[in-house]
Structure 1
């Protein structure tokens, strides 16, 4: 046995190095070797060593996270005794062959593009029936899976992980999975599964669902009925993970838990579930881990408590019986509506408690003066930290601390996994933290302070780093000095003062889900290596000095939900691949750049888009009729009910963006999911406004102003009943404003000055040939309604009124003007209060 696995990813200290260079052929001298582990080292893209195929006694081989590349040599076929092979995160793998004795095969994140490279289609029972464990997860480009026909040979398979593999185009795949008679562990997280597919998987074959012990369907889509069915059918489940499911935001937790008496882990976090916790939870006697955070649950906690109930709407007191949970390690009930007093009895037996979060409730802590629980720390002093060595979470956020961090503070305990110090007045430079001892996937949040100087080095095993809203300067050079893949999933350096070009060194951060570099001083082109961020969901590069074209390499980032590139100097055309390669896009904000060309028809393929802002560019051509295909703007309940999230298994991040709303720029965050906007203003568009845009009935803002649009305003404009902001001004529209505009009851009517105008009128101004209410220039028919009768006779009514010398043309004009003045005078007074109420309303919604 030879185990040279590096611990660098877990404990990146100076004393913990990793192997690099080439794998030496001197290993051939170990002809009795059966176990070889070289994982978590860095071989810098070198090819697979041919000679390993000569170690014919090998039974266990682990080359994962070694940065090897290219094809596996044919000599690997000599490893006929190999039982376990782990090649996870071995980049650009082009070929893997099946070995007759293989039981365990892991190809996680290998960049596979087609399963033909696995030669599964040519397997027979003798070569594949032994396989028990197969991990193909995080192969983002693995689209061609041949209908999973290769599964029929894997009759002994017990564990199958295809998370983050797109199965949406695979026909009838649930039947293929259910043909595996021995399967007990199934992970299909983020596979773009629909409700129909999930229902097929779990309902067609009841015997299949009853044999499963582990099931993970997180980050897919299904309905409440499918959700309830799960708890009635999968009776043998021990672990069930259903986090961040699209479509459960109005579902309640089913009461039928009697059949899940074997369940030990239940994770329902991040689904916006409503209602209370069913009393049937009392029947889950085997349950030891329950995650319900980030939902919309309410009601009393009665005599039930779990270890993760934060960010809900629970009311009432904290149950005193919590003191009986002597094995409890995490108690998080923060951000609820709990009331009442917390006594010593609540905590007296919680000797194993490691994390306590009670914030954002209305609880009163009432302890005896001399009582000190074993986990209690005096947060009024920071000096105590110098003697503490066992804490795993440190949160001193929003504590009003104004100081320079002492040097000893950064000597963290080995298992620290969360450091939060945001929203204080901490200042000074940060030291080099690359040697700090942090747990794997640790999170650091130092945002909203006064830190300055250059951005320091951080450990490569940090998964979330938030340095936003400080005074950091310099460049992002610390990213380029990472010479091994990192665990970083969220990087937020927005609202600082770093400068320089965005360095072309993003290859080692391919797990990044959130990247926010907005509101800084970066310049130059967007580097091509950003296309290697195949997991990124939120990309914010706004308000910098970036130039050049939007790089085509970003088409590889197919998981993108938000692209915010506003307020730069980007040029070129809007890439057509945005509509073809980014199917999950919800926000596209390209405002205030130098983009030119026409409106790409492919943008009409963005069926999830809710915010489309390409204003203040140089876009020419017409608005395509296919804009009516942006169906998320016509659905009453969309994929997200109030906020837009980026998520994975370990955390979620609430997105935000800036929009111009009624002439002012606003930041939307918690209410972002309610906002559905099209802003094409200040371009060079011409032609008519397509009638199909009125199909987008959930639009709340439409801005087409400052273009060269012409033609009539469609009478169907009144179908946009949820419209709160409309601006068609400064175009070449003509004809009469349709009467259906009065159907837009949410449209603000706010006087803007002393003229007889309203906000409605402002929306149509500077269209010289446009007439009719609410514009002051009336159409001819409005001024002379009696001149034209139904037969087209212009003289008949004139002669009939000829004898009435007092009722002249001047009389009609004076009466009309008097009516208009009186009417709008009343409106001016009556709506003054409306404006302030509407402003208060929108502030309330966004808060």
Structure 2
């Protein structure tokens, strides 16, 4: 029963009260009443987790007999808030100094100290205090000094998870009675003082997650002969493990049970002194750069219960010595660079409960003998290796697993029958294991209590039965197989991930699917043969991703999204949907990605889209939308990174204010009936002016990691004349496509300020004027298509500066003069990219230029500057020939002498030489041009 309401003065009738426990109730944020200070005989007061709030009355200082005070975890909520509305607050803590009998004080996570609360001074005046727990109390600093240290009995001091921005104070090391010191998750800086050796009774020391703390570990730390638990994780140690020989070879080796140094930038081999930790039970070194094989000395860790080396960069094989860790309970070597085979000696670890070797480069066979003695194994993780599990169909495992992750290991082609013996599995991952078989009926019966099931990316066939009895199922991934038939029915209130994409499911979607899995966070039925209308029950989903793309869905989009507040990604692309975009589709305040492309939607772009203020991706291409591009896109959808309105029936001018979309990196308005000029403001796209972000994302996908899922937005982009779908690499793409419209006027020079642009397509319009010489400023350009316009004049010589250019089309314009040659343009040998420009001449065209008599071949670039470049290049080649002439003459006879006597050899050899010469010539030309550019810059 949970108590609530008020705390009334009638309690004062309990005149002899010594023990009062009102913890774990809900008093709705009321204050602690002042009369609580009247219980003079009270020795025990526990108000933890009672939903109290406001200032703590100083009258509590009258409880002179109080020995135990717990005010922790006091925060309260209302029905509509996910964050606490209030906490208990201490303005001035000096009243604590009057609690002369106090031995235990806990104010963690629920009591906030205001600045200047004098908490340390008050505690220092309570000589009887033994335990102080002030975790997450908003403490910003620790006073560096005390006039007199009065902590004669203090054994436990917990100041973790505050915002302490100071050094470790020296007075701490005068508390000789201290056994437990926890300062983790703060902003402590400076070094660990060598005076730490004075804490001779210390058993627990936790300094982890202080990113500004210097990683120099004093050698005197090794003199703490009673230390059992040492946690230094999240500190930038950046040392070789062998540099700690002077620390861990002292008496600390005889007492230490837990050593956590994960994510500390450690390097080097695992040293032999690890084997001297006779009492060590848990070793955690993950997230470092440790390499080399595991030392044989680890075999002496007879008491070890947990070994975690995950996310390191271990390099080498797993040594046989691991088999000597007779007491090992947990072994985790995941996320390393281990290679070779798994030694059979691991099978001697008879007490092993958890084995994690996932995410390495291990290979070879694992036979039944490996597991013969692992009778206590509950957790087995081998995913993302190249292992082959050779386990016969009649094998009876000696263990009962709870979790099995063997994704990317070779297991198939038959479905493993030995799984039938596993009665306790709740997590199973057999993705990408080469199974090309049907799922047996016993599987669905045996694992009805499973929580996590992933058998994706195999060749599994057959149909799926109804899964209405899978009440505990939370994660189901059957994607990328060959399942067929109707979708299964569900009745799982906790199912948060359902991925049935890339199969051959057919028929309609059950109308009540949204009610069956109301808490689904990720739902993908993409790339199947599903038909019928979209069920209205999808509007009841509270999840983040809804993907029905690449199916045969008919009818109109539902207009019932008013309560779908959690949806971040909505993808209905590549179906046969018709009608208009419903007004309620932007009701979700978190919608970031909307894909409706490749349907039969029509009408004007609705004003309701103006409410999608958090959209990063809007893809409405390949539909029948009409009217003009609304100006409100550039006024309201300011988070857009991708805007695709390709292949519709849009008309009118392009709104200049689209340039206000500062995050836009892909703009595709191709294949419409747009007219007018290209706005000069398009040179203001901020995100197109910077280099591609190799660490960026398209979607923020807030809260996705909370559920352990990620989502990469995907979109098809026309680049280099091809329709390419990007997903993981999508954040790298910066492109503008305005092709196949009725645009006129000149190409704005302002576009040349878009320095990050990798693809520009303005083809099939009515553009006129010259191609600006500044186009060479687009240094990242890989694809340029200006074909089928009315452009005239010379091809700018600055195009040779586009060294990343791999696709070029200037055909069917009115360009004239010599085609520039140099750098990347030297590699464009297909004359069709210039076809339809009758006044162009020079390589690679067959039409020669008028001055070819004086300037022959590819060196005749055109223009005085280019002719000077050609002359400099010739001088470079003369110097090269002079410096290598003598050696070349000798080598020439050695190479060519035998060819004088064999016609076939001679013919084949000189054909090869011609090819090599062409290649070397181009390389030297590029090198010379770049060297010349560097010299000019210098």
Query: Structure 2 residue aligned with 1:497, among 522, 525, 529?
Result: 529
Where does residue 232 of structure 1 map in the other structure?
Answer: 215
CA distance in 2, matches of 1:212, 1:437: 43
Q: Alpha carbons of 1:360 and 1:254: their partners in 2 closer, same or farther (altered >3 Å)?
A: same
Where does residue 427 of structure 2 map in the other structure?
Answer: 393
CA distance in 1, matches of 2:657, 2:535: 33
Q: CA deviation at 1:469?
A: 1.2
CA distance in 2, matches of 1:701, 1:102: 62
Q: Alpha carbons of 1:817 and 1:651: their partners in 2 closer, same or farther (altered >3 Å)?
A: farther
Query: Structure 2 residue aligned with 1:740, among 773, 785, 798?
Result: 798
Asked if the contact 2:55/2:89 (under 8 Å) is kept, the reply is no
The reply on whether 1:475 has 2:533 as its aligned counterpart is no
Q: SS of the residue aligned with 2:215?
A: helix
The reply on whether 1:453 has 2:486 as its aligned counterpart is yes
Asked if the contact 1:482/1:508 (under 8 Å) is kept, the reply is no
The reply on whether 1:351 has 2:379 as its aligned counterpart is no
Q: Alpha carbons of 1:497 and 1:311: their partners in 2 closer, same or farther (altered >3 Å)?
A: farther
Deviations 1:423-472 (A, max 9, x none): 224222x3332431436x43433432222214522523223211001233
* TM-score in terms of structure 2 length: 0.54
The reply on whether 1:300 has 2:296 as its aligned counterpart is no
CA distance in 1, matches of 2:805, 2:714: 24
Asked if the contact 1:424/1:449 (under 8 Å) is kept, the reply is yes
Q: SS of the residue aligned with 1:60?
A: coil
Deviations 1:29-53 (A, max 9, x none): xx9xx9xxxxxxxxxxxxxxxxxxx
Where does residue 104 of structure 1 map in the other structure?
Answer: 73
CA distance in 2, matches of 1:543, 1:631: 29
Asked if the contact 2:693/2:731 (under 8 Å) is kept, the reply is no
Q: Which runs of 5+ in 2 are unaligned?
A: 12-20, 34-45, 57-69, 97-105, 120-131, 144-156, 171-180, 188-208, 222-228, 249-255, 289-308, 323-329, 402-410, 593-613, 821-833, 862-910, 920-938
Query: Structure 2 residue aligned with 1:773, among 816, 819, 827?
Result: 819
Q: Alpha carbons of 1:515 and 1:359: their partners in 2 closer, same or farther (altered >3 Å)?
A: same
Query: Structure 2 residue aligned with 1:648, among 692, 695, 705?
Result: 705
Where does residue 880 of structure 2 map in the other structure?
Answer: none
Q: CA deviation at 1:495?
A: 0.6
Where does residue 516 of structure 1 map in the other structure?
Answer: 547
Q: CA deviation at 1:557?
A: 3.7
CA distance in 1, matches of 2:346, 2:853: 75
How is 1:239-258 mapped onto 2 (pairs within 5 angstroms)?
255=240
Q: SS of the residue aligned with 1:450?
A: strand
CA distance in 2, matches of 1:383, 1:811: 74
Asked if the contact 1:601/1:624 (under 8 Å) is kept, the reply is no
CA distance in 1, matches of 2:819, 2:691: 31
The reply on whether 1:658 has 2:709 as its aligned counterpart is no
Q: CA deviation at 1:395?
A: 3.8
Where does residue 442 of structure 1 map in the other structure?
Answer: 475
How is 1:709-748 mapped onto 2 (pairs within 5 angstroms)?
709-748=767-806
Q: Alpha carbons of 1:214 and 1:78: their partners in 2 closer, same or farther (altered >3 Å)?
A: closer
CA distance in 2, matches of 1:282, 1:612: 60
How is 1:676-715 mapped onto 2 (pairs within 5 angstroms)?
676-683=734-741, 688-715=746-773
Deviations 1:210-244 (A, max 9, x none): 9544589xxxxxxxxx99857839999859689xx
* TM-score in terms of structure 1 length: 0.59
Q: Alpha carbons of 1:466 and 1:350: their partners in 2 closer, same or farther (altered >3 Å)?
A: same
Asked if the contact 1:465/1:490 (under 8 Å) is kept, the reply is yes
Asked if the contact 2:539/2:564 (under 8 Å) is kept, the reply is yes
Q: Alpha carbons of 1:728 and 1:385: their partners in 2 closer, same or farther (altered >3 Å)?
A: same
Q: Alpha carbons of 1:334 and 1:59: their partners in 2 closer, same or farther (altered >3 Å)?
A: closer
Asked if the contact 1:214/1:238 (under 8 Å) is kept, the reply is no
The reply on whether 1:553 has 2:587 as its aligned counterpart is yes
Query: Structure 2 residue aligned with 1:409, among 436, 444, 448?
Result: 444
Cα RMSD after superposing both structures: 6.2
Asked if the contact 1:468/1:494 (under 8 Å) is kept, the reply is yes
CA distance in 1, matches of 2:286, 2:776: 48
Q: CA deviation at 1:494?
A: 0.9
Deviations 1:321-375 (A, max 9, x none): 6446556555454564324565777545543434445466454668999996524
Query: Structure 2 residue aligned with 1:337, among 332, 344, 361?
Result: 361
Asked if the contact 2:53/2:89 (under 8 Å) is kept, the reply is no
Where does residue 297 of structure 2 map in the other structure?
Answer: none
CA distance in 1, matches of 2:797, 2:116: 64
Query: Structure 2 residue aligned with 1:424, among 459, 466, 469?
Result: 459
CA distance in 2, matches of 1:331, 1:267: 18
Asked if the contact 1:540/1:563 (under 8 Å) is kept, the reply is no
CA distance in 2, matches of 1:692, 1:205: 53
Q: CA deviation at 1:713?
A: 2.9
Q: Alpha carbons of 1:727 and 1:814: their partners in 2 closer, same or farther (altered >3 Å)?
A: same
CA distance in 1, matches of 2:78, 2:543: 10
CA distance in 2, matches of 1:742, 1:295: 45
Deviations 1:549-574 (A, max 9, x none): 78443553468766655445567857
Asked if the contact 1:214/1:237 (under 8 Å) is kept, the reply is no
Where does residue 541 of structure 1 map in the other structure?
Answer: 572
Where does residue 318 of structure 1 map in the other structure?
Answer: 342
Query: Structure 1 residue aligned with 2:283, among 280, 287, 311?
Result: 287
CA distance in 2, matches of 1:326, 1:498: 50
Q: Alpha carbons of 1:496 and 1:606: their partners in 2 closer, same or farther (altered >3 Å)?
A: farther
CA distance in 2, matches of 1:406, 1:566: 44
Deviations 1:570-627 (A, max 9, x none): 67857867897775x76555544566774574665554x6544454456666445465
Q: Alpha carbons of 1:213 and 1:347: their partners in 2 closer, same or farther (altered >3 Å)?
A: farther
Where does residue 178 of structure 1 map in the other structure?
Answer: 140
Which structure has the higher relative contact order (CA within 8 Å, separation 6+)? 1
Q: Alpha carbons of 1:766 and 1:651: their partners in 2 closer, same or farther (altered >3 Å)?
A: same
Deviations 1:504-554 (A, max 9, x none): 656764452x44322123453475738845473x55433233642784435
Q: Rg larger in 1 or in 2? A: 2
Where does residue 60 of structure 1 map in the other structure?
Answer: 24
CA distance in 2, matches of 1:204, 1:132: 20
CA distance in 1, matches of 2:658, 2:501: 34
Q: Alpha carbons of 1:555 and 1:369: their partners in 2 closer, same or farther (altered >3 Å)?
A: closer
